[in-house]
Chain A
Amino acid sequence: MKKTVFITIAVVLGILLSLQIRSFKRLESFIERSKPADVLAELRTFQVANEQLRVRVSEESKAVSDLESNEQRVSVEDEIKRLDLLAGTRSIAGEGVLLTFTEVPEEFWMSDLVTQLISAGAEAIAVGDTQNVIRLTSRTAGFRSVGGGLMMRRYFLKPPFHVIAIGSKSELRKSVAQEGGIVDRITSAHPQLKITVQVLDRITIPALKD
């Protein structure tokens, strides 16, 4: 009788303990993603955002005066050229970084990494494996980790897979590979996962297939 009581108590305590550990792990991962890097970094983010807005104000003002000074044809063609580079319908190239993952982390890490790269000035991003390289656009966005691979909308990518970002190679490298940065955060959450960051003078991203 006594033995049964002890076993029951031990089982209940075990369940409570495992629930507590699970809940702690969930909270730990939540804080790991949401905690600010440091105060200065956050202030810098805000300052950069305002700088970007200031640049936009001056660029848009210039665009307006170009439009007003009868450079209309040029402005439409310039817009087509710019959108040609951004829309994903044409193959593009430029300097940037190539990150190689030996395994697939949870999908939220992909969103966090993409955000980090864009904030550092990435102008184009693609994800690929040995078979495919898929440019990130509104037709391909949406990550899901599934069956040891990574779904990117309708494309299934197998590890090792790459994340390609075109932009200022030094800025991009600094933003992802800094101490305590996104690469460190992913690898500390997944010690078995290895991420290598290569800086390249020219990387290509193919046009999206229809």
Chain B
Amino acid sequence: MRFRLVDIGFVAIGLAIGVILSLQIRAHPVKIGSSALDQFETKKAILTSLSVEQEELKQKLAAIEAKKEELKALIAGRSSKKTVQTLENLKELAGYSQVTGDGIRITLNDNVSVTRLDFSSINENFVQATDLRDLVNVLFLKDAKAISINGHRITPMTPIQSVFDSILVGSLQISPPFTVETIGNQTALTEAVKNLTKRNIQILTDPLPSIQIQPAQDSTTAKFLSLITE
């Protein structure tokens, strides 16, 4: 009698486990999980959509800016010489004018042994935002007259920061190879590159007799600034 009760108990437990298991198997899988793989895929999807959005915005902006420049040139033609001169001087000081001259081109690229994928680019084989920041800092120290990275003018007020596997220059996303063009004394500017030679990345330096660096495009706001009358 006692053994029979134990048997029934075991059978009941077995049935309960069976029911729970079958319910579990029939359950719909959770779409958004918290596993590392799911997080990775989600991150990748968000980044892709942000990159696509950025490309569209870049194209819109380029078209509007081209039109604006055209109109500004028309207006400058109608303004007084003094006003135009004042505007040009200020533009030059703030980095909003084109600069031409001799200088160097520095090309930075990741080590040939690695690929920039899967958010793994924080190691010595990849070009980091910090490399570009340090290089720009030293180039300014060497009296660079103008600097650009992948065609975008860099002023001391242009932030260079990393976002996952890419780098943002101002608000614009750029990817390797990173071409830094700079105008100034070629010997002094070439010295600046020596600071990066301890890294496991590819660095190429070419002196160029004529470089044209475009005006800065980021229209820094001045909402919090007011002039002090001296």
Contacts and interface: CB of A to CB of B under 8 A. Distances in A.
Interface in A71-129: 72-73, 75-77, 79-80, 82-96, 107-108, 110-112, 114-115, 118-119, 122-125
A31 interface: yes
B159 A119 contact: yes
Interface string B129-158: 110011011111110001000000001111
Main SS at interface, chain A: helix
Task: Identify which of A31, A87, A88, A96 gathers the most chain B CB atoms within 10 Å of its CB.
Answer: A87
Interface of B: 39, 43, 46-47, 50, 53-54, 57-58, 60-61, 64-65, 67-68, 71-72, 75-76, 78-79, 83, 86-87, 90-91, 93-96, 122, 124, 128-130, 133-134, 136-142, 146, 155-164, 168, 170-173, 218-228, 230
Interface string A29-47: 0110111100100110111
Interface string A151-176: 10100000000000011100000000
A142 B137 contact: yes
Interface in A2-51: 27, 30-31, 33-36, 39, 42-43, 45-47, 49-50
B137 A89 contact: no
Given A76-B87, A142-B140, A166-B225, 17 more contacts: A46-B163, A50-B171, A54-B57, A56-B218, A61-B64, A64-B67, A80-B87, A83-B91, A87-B93, A90-B227, A91-B227, A91-B230, A137-B94, A138-B93, A139-B93, A142-B139, A204-B228
Contact of A56 (B61, B76, B158, B226): B61
A68 B71 contact: yes
Given A34-B122, A87-B94, A138-B156, A60 B87 contact: no
Contacts of A92: 225-228
B227 to A, nearest CB: 5
A96 B224 CA distance: 9
B75 A49 contact: no
A77 B87 CA distance: 9
Interface residues of A, number: 78
A46 B130 contact: no
Contacts of A45: 161, 163, 168
Contact of B130 (A34, A64, A140): A34
B224 A167 contact: yes
22 contacts: A34-B128, A50-B57, A50-B171, A53-B171, A56-B219, A57-B61, A60-B64, A60-B219, A67-B75, A72-B79, A80-B87, A85-B226, A86-B94, A88-B94, A90-B230, A108-B130, A108-B137, A114-B156, A123-B225, A153-B141, A167-B224, A204-B228
Given A153-B140, A207-B230, A87 B90 contact: yes
Contacts of A143: 137, 141
Contacts of B158: 118
A113 to B, nearest CB: 11
Contacts of A197: none
Contact of B94 (A30, A34, A83, A96): A83
Contact of B140 (A57, A141, A207): A141
A63 interface: yes
Nearest to A166: B224
Contacts of A76: 75-76, 79, 83, 87
Contacts of A199: none
